[in-house]
Amino acid sequence: MHRARQHAETRTRERRHRLAHEAARLMAEGGIRDYHLAKLKAAERLGIHDDASLPRNREIEDALRQYQRLFRGEAQASGLHQRREAALRALDFFATFDSRLVGPVLEGTADEHTPVALHLYSDDPDAVARHLEQHGIPAESRSRRVRLDRERMGEFPVWLFSAEDLTFDLTVLPHDALRQAPLSGIDEKPMRRASAAQLRQLLADEEIAGYENGTIPL
């Protein structure tokens, strides 16, 4: 009985691993952004239909990072570095809104289609729109549901604009949300986020690592 249970657990782990890597491949090659959709498509492709074998979103994210490192290598690293440098300029530009970088550009899973996602903080819902207008930046208005914590969820303004051949995605949150990061849609834990100073340090660390490895980002 014990050996049968161990065998079943091993099979489930193997299926989770296969599904995570297939979902990551679909996201990397097919431009899928939704982890749940990638997971379901992977399960359909592999003919695996038991819920216990479905990987967590964080497992897929780890597999995606590994896939990009193996198959995209230098091109992905160069594109990521470019986006992080552009993000730093954007953080400085939106400094009055206590701007923070979030999402794949910070996590290291961004590809050539990934927007640079920032969180801006203001209790004036029109302040970011005025800032964009004052600087002659045309932007598209949207909204997004964000879970601020276990108890609070709301619809918040989003602004999309293009610059430096990149898309920037700004979510405007109330200023008290700066105290604790909103919950991630990937694992419902507080999002990782970076201020301009933290991103500047990350880029400096990248450059040092590039010199040491002989792969200085271009």
**Sign of the four-CA dihedral 77, 79, 83, 89:** positive
Q: pTM to 2 decimals?
A: 0.74
- For residue 97 the two structure tokens come to 């809104």
CATH of the domain at 197: 3.30.460
Helical spans, DSSP H, in 31-154? 35-46, 57-67, 73-93, 104-107, 127-134
Residues 28, 110 share a domain: no
165 Rama sector, left if φ>0, alpha if ψ -120 to 50, beta otherwise: left
- For residue 189 the two structure tokens come to 């834990």
What CA–CA distance (Å, rounded) separates 103 from 193?
8
- Largest Cα span, the chain: 71
Q: 116-121 and 153-163: which strand pairing? A: unpaired
Structural domain span for residue 41: 2-55
Residues 96-110: pLDDT tens digits? Answer: 999 999 999 999 888
pLDDT above 70 coverage of the chain, percent: 91
Residues 198, 119 share a domain: yes
Residues 106, 180 share a domain: yes
Would 60 be classed as within a structural domain? no
Q: What is the mean pLDDT of residues 212-218?
A: 51
- For residue 135 the two structure tokens come to 């600087």
Residues 206, 177 share a domain: yes
What CA–CA distance (Å, rounded) separates 89 from 150?
32
pLDDT at residue 218, as a whole number: 44
Would 110 be classed as within a structural domain? yes
Residues 78, 49 share a domain: no
Residues 80, 126 share a domain: yes
Would 64 be classed as within a structural domain? no
Q: If pLDDT is split at 50, 70 and 90, which confidence band does 28 have?
A: confident
